[in-house]
Amino acid sequence: MQNEGHEGGEKLQPIRQTTRIEAFNALLSIAKHELLISNFRYPLRIVSRFFEPLVWVAPFLIFGRALLGGADSQTLESLTGISHMPTFVIVGTIVTTISFTMLWLMSFAIRLESYRGTFESIYACPVSNFLFFMGKLMASSIWASFYIAGLLLLGVLVLDIQFIWTRLPEMILVIIMLFFAMFGFGLILAGMVLVYKESHTLLHFVDGLFSLIVPMAYPLAVLPGALQAVSRALPMTQAVIASRNLVIRGESLLVQSESMAVLLAYIFIAIPLGYQFYKRMEGKAKKKGVLHKY
């Protein structure tokens, strides 16, 4: 129903719903803004993004060669069905890099806007929080792709990685599913940051915990039984396992039933729960009067 205005009986028109095209354009604008403000305006950040893989992966590869005496290992093959250690590590690093980049950028989404002084502008826009975070997530994926390109170049030119390239499209599909599966995690962390503000402490703890139990550079079988169970319940672990089975062992996506089930569960269950948690934490922050505070 339209309401009578205070001046001359003028009627106030209800705010119309945003169309799908307008919502999509807003999503692209949010992603573009994040990439330009945080990364693309600094040329050295772009250049360093391609060389960071060498610094990040080198310790795992050096330590692995020291233990194995070379690039191949019968022990690794007996545990995973994969013998070439550099290829094993590269795939794990690609998937976990995407996951951790998403978590960091989504968790800092609101905090960064407060830091930049654009918090009020973001909340005044007729765009839902869900769409705002999705734009941030898209930006994180694009930024992570530079790192992944550097990893692949390092693997192909230096490490002689043994990919079955025909399975790469299926691995990309797994990564797309991981993209959405991580959304629920990001919403939960973003909600906690709204109230408690200790973003670096929280993110470093979560990052360190996931780095320990997600089999990025070592087989899942070497973890204690309890940690293996926890790890298997995480979307990052299942994406790592499925990706290795696809592009290294040459298995079909159709036989990755456990991995697909976990990823789908996070997409259809964790996202709604995460969004509800975020809205509750947003309400709590408003009641405490700390929503806008950095």
Q: Is 175 part of any domain?
A: yes
Lowest mean pLDDT among 95-104, 107-116, 221-230, 231-240: 107-116
**Separation of alpha carbons 103 and 92, rounded Å:** 17
Q: In this structure, is the dihedral angle defined by the CA atoms of residues 172, 178, 180 and 183, taken in order, positive or negative?
A: negative
Residue 282 has pLDDT above 60, yes or no: yes
**Per-residue confidence (pLDDT) for residue 1, from 0 to 100:** 43
Q: Is 275 part of any domain?
A: yes
**Per-residue confidence (pLDDT) for residue 5, from 0 to 100:** 46
Residue 137 or 169, more confident: 169
**Separation of alpha carbons 224 and 141, rounded Å:** 32
Residues with Cβ within 8 Å of 207's Cβ and at least 6 positions away in sequence, in order, are 100, 103, 104
**Separation of alpha carbons 101 and 94, rounded Å:** 11
**Per-residue confidence (pLDDT) for residue 126, from 0 to 100:** 66
Q: In this structure, is the dihedral angle defined by the CA atoms of residues 196, 198, 201 and 203, taken in order, positive or negative?
A: positive
Number of domains into which the chain is organized: 1
Q: Is 247 part of any domain?
A: yes
**Separation of alpha carbons 59 and 54, rounded Å:** 9
Residue 6 has pLDDT above 50, yes or no: no
Q: Is 183 part of any domain?
A: yes
Residue 220 or 123, more confident: 220
- Asked if residue 12 lies in contact with residue 116, where contact means CB atoms within 8 angstroms, the answer is no
Q: Is 70 part of any domain?
A: yes
**Per-residue confidence (pLDDT) for residue 293, from 0 to 100:** 65
- Cβ neighbours of 120 (radius 10 Å): 11
**Separation of alpha carbons 76 and 210, rounded Å:** 21
Task: Give the pLDDT confidence of 67-80 residue by residue, as tens digits.
Answer: 777 777 787 778 88
Residue 117 or 259, more confident: 259
Q: Is 11 part of any domain?
A: no
Task: Give the pLDDT confidence of 11-51 residue by residue, as tens digits.
Answer: 544 455 667 776 667 777 777 777 777 667 777 777 776 67
Task: Give the pLDDT confidence of 191-244 residue by residue, as tens digits.
Answer: 787 777 766 677 777 777 888 888 888 888 888 888 899 999 999 999 999 999
Q: Is 6 part of any domain?
A: no
Lowest mean pLDDT among 119-128, 191-200, 245-254: 119-128
Mean pLDDT of 90-101: 83
- Cβ neighbours of 289 (radius 10 Å): 8
**For the whole model, what pTM was predicted?**
0.77
Q: Is 219 part of any domain?
A: yes
Average pLDDT over all residues of the chain: 77
**Per-residue confidence (pLDDT) for residue 216, from 0 to 100:** 84
Residue range(s) defining the domain that contains residue 220:
20-288
**Residue 105 tokens, joined:** 């950028």
Lowest mean pLDDT among 28-37, 250-259, 260-269, 270-279: 28-37
Give bridge partners of residue 72 from the DSSP assignment.
84
Amino acid occupying residue 174: V
**Per-residue confidence (pLDDT) for residue 238, from 0 to 100:** 92
Q: Is 8 left (phi over 0), alpha (psi -120 to 50) or beta?
A: left
**Per-residue confidence (pLDDT) for residue 163, from 0 to 100:** 84
Q: What percent of the chain has pLDDT over 90?
A: 6
